[in-house]
Chains A and B, each alone.
Chain A
Amino acid sequence: MIENLQGAFSLLTTWNVALTILICSVYGLFVGAVPGLTATMATALLVPFTFFMDPVPALVSIVSMSAMAIFAGDIPATLVRIPGTPSSAAYTEDAYELTKQGKAELALGTCVMASSIGGLFGALVLMTAAPLLAEVALKFTSFEYFWLAALGLSATVMIASTSPLKAGLALLVGLFFSTVGLDITLGYPRFTFGSTELLNGINFIPAMIGLFGVSEILRNMASAHLRLPTTDVRAQHIFRGVGKVLWKYRNHMMRSGPLGTFIGILPGAGADIAAWIAYAMARRFSREPEKFGKGVIEPIVGATTANNACLAGAWVPALVFGIPGDSITAILIGVLFMKGLRPGPEIFARQPELVYAVYISFLVANLLMVPFGYLAIRASSTMLRVPRNILMPAILMFCVVGSYAINNSDFDVGIMLATGILGYFFEANGIPVAPVVLGIVLGPILEQNFMVSMIKSDWDLTQFFTRPTAAILGVLTILIWIAPFLPAIVRRLRGGAAVA
C-alpha cells in the first residue's frame, strides 16, 4: 500500500499533472459559476482533451474539475438566485435570502467549507470501500455482472427519476444506441444501414458531447435570458463565523456526508438528488423547519456537504464494477475504455497506482477547494459578467472540434449534432438525458454478460439464480421493478384477508 501511495504521489507531483489539476480546477470553477453550464457538460467537453493525455492526468482532470464545479454552482445561487449547476438548486432560495439579509459572505464561506468537508468524507469512503468491494468483485462471473448492470439500470429508472416511464424510454434509447455495430455473438452488423463508420458502433464521446453539450447550448439559446443579472456583492471575509456555523450544525454534516456518498454509489442518482434529499433530511431533523426556504444557513450546511460527498461515492461502482454512479462517471468509464483500461476489480491489481492517484486527487482537489473557492468567490462578479451570447457560440465550436478530434471524422460531428437535437427534445418533454448515457455505457456489459451466461448455461434461465450473489442481486433488481406496485399488492392482499 505504501509503495502504491508513493507511486501515486510521484505521478501526481510531476509538473504536467500538477498543471492539469490547476487548469482543470479553474475550468471547473468557471463552469460551475456560470449558470447554464453543468459539471456533466464540462466533463463531456473535457473528454477530447483527455484523449491526448496519459491515464493519470486524464482521470485527475475529471476529479478536480467536477469537484470544483459542484461547489462553484453555489456562487451564483447565493449571489443572483440562479444555481450554477443543478446540484445547488435545493438550497438556492435560502442562500439568496441570506444575501438579501447581508450575509452573503457567511453563506459562501459555509458553502466552500462544507463542500470541502463533504468531498473529503466521500474520498475517504472511496478509499476504504472500493478496495474491499474489489476483493468481492474478483469472484464475480457473467451472471453477477449481468445482474449488477441490470440493477444499476433499474435503479436509474425507478429510483433516480420523477417519471419512471419516461426514464425507461430514455434508457431504452441508450441501450438501442449500444446495439448499433457488429454484434458480439456472430459479428453480424446491426442497424448500420451499410455505413462503414457505424460498424464500430455509435462513438460514445461525440454522443456524450451532443447529449450534454449541444443540447445545453440549444436550451440556452432558446432561452430569452441570455444576459444574467449582475451582482456587486463584495465577499471578502468569507470565513468569518463559518467555524461556529459548522460546529453548530455538525450533526447535519455527519448525516449528509454518508447520505451523499451512498446516493453517489447508487447508479443513476447524482449530486443534485443528493442535495435535495439532504435538504429534506435537514428539515426533518431541524428544530425550526418552518424557517427553511426563508434564508437560514442550516439546510445549506447539510445539502452542500451531500452534493460534494456524492461525487466520490459515484466513483466506487464505476471503478470496482464498471457501473457508473452518475452521468460524470458514465463519461469517465468511456474515458477509461478510450485509454484501453477496463474498469473492474482487475484495475486494482493491475494498475494500483492509477487507483491511488484517483484517491489522492480527490483529497487534493477537496483541499484545494478552500483557497481556490475563496479566489473564485472574489472573482465571482467578473465571472457572472461573461456574456452568454458570446460564450454559447464559443462552446459550440469546442463541441464541434472536440467531436471531430477523437477519430478525425466529420461523421462523429454528425453524431454529435443528432444526439444534441435528441437531448434537447428529451429535456423539453420531461425525458431525462442521463439514462441515455447509462444505457450507452451499460448496454454492451448487459448484453455481453447476458448472452455469455445464456450460452454457457445452455439457455437455462434458472442458472441466473443458482449462485448466491447472483441470486441476491437478481432478487434486488426484481424488487426494484415491483416496488411501485407493492402498496397496491399489499392493499389487495389485506382486503382479501379481511373478506376471508
Chain B
Amino acid sequence: MTTSLLEISELTKTFGGVRAVNNCTFAVPEGQVVGLIGPNGAGKSTVVDLVSGFGRPDSGTIMFAGEQLVGKSPDVISRLGLIRTFQTPREWRNLSVMDNVMLARRRFDNEGLWQCMIRARAIRREEESDRAAVREILERFQLTELKNELASRLSGGQKRLLEFARIAAAEPRLIILDEPMGGVNPVLGTRIGDAVGQFAGDGRTVIVVEHNLPFIEKTCDQVVVMDLGEVIAQGPFAGLRDNPRVVEAYLGMDLGHG
C-alpha cells in the first residue's frame, strides 16, 4: 500500500454562518489521481483554497509530505511542491506564452534584484537549459507556433493547454486541478485527460475537482465525494453508484452510463 502524500483531517471552515467545510477528513495516496466531486456548494473549492494557502481553516490539519500546511502562505506551499489551478485559467495575460511557461519553471534563485543587476549575462546563460525544456513542453501541448504571442491572444482552449504546459514546467509533486474541463470541447477534453494521465505516469499525484463524471471515471483511481461541507464517501468510482448517500446528493444526476 502506498503512503499518503496529503492527509486532511477534521478540517472546518465557516464563512459567516455557513459551514463551507465541516469536519472534513480524507487522504490522498502518493502517485494516484483522486477525483473530488460533489454538487455545487459542497465545499470542494474551499478545500482546494485551504490546502493551497488561499484561505485559513478554523480548525483541522493539512499534512503534505510530513509538513503542516495550515498557517503557511500560498507561495511557501507552492515551493513545497504543490501547484494548483483556478476555475478559470489564470494566465499572465500581457506576457508571452514563452514567458508564462518560463515563469512556471520557477528558478527563484535567479530572480533576485541584485542578482539580475550583477549577473545578468550569467543568468541568461543558465536559463538556456530551461528554455530548451520549455520548448519541448510547448511542443507537447502544441503551443510552439504561439510561443511569442501574448497569452491574452490565445483562445479559451489554448489557455487551458497553457495552464497544463505551466504545470508540466513546474514539475510539482502534487497537482490540484480545479474544474479543468470547464468550457472545454470534447477533443480538447481528450487531450486534457491524456495530460492528466501523463502527470500520473511521471509519478505525480493529482487531485481533480470536476463536475464532469465521465471524465472522473476515466482518469481517477479513486473518488472523494463531498456534500454540504462533509465527505460522504471515498473509494473507487464503480462502488459509488450503490452508495445511498451519494445517490441522494446527486439525485436526478446520471452517475455514469451503467
Do A and B originate from a single complex?
A: no
* Residues in chain B within 8 A of chain A (CB atoms): none
Spell out A's residues near B (CB within 8 Å).
none
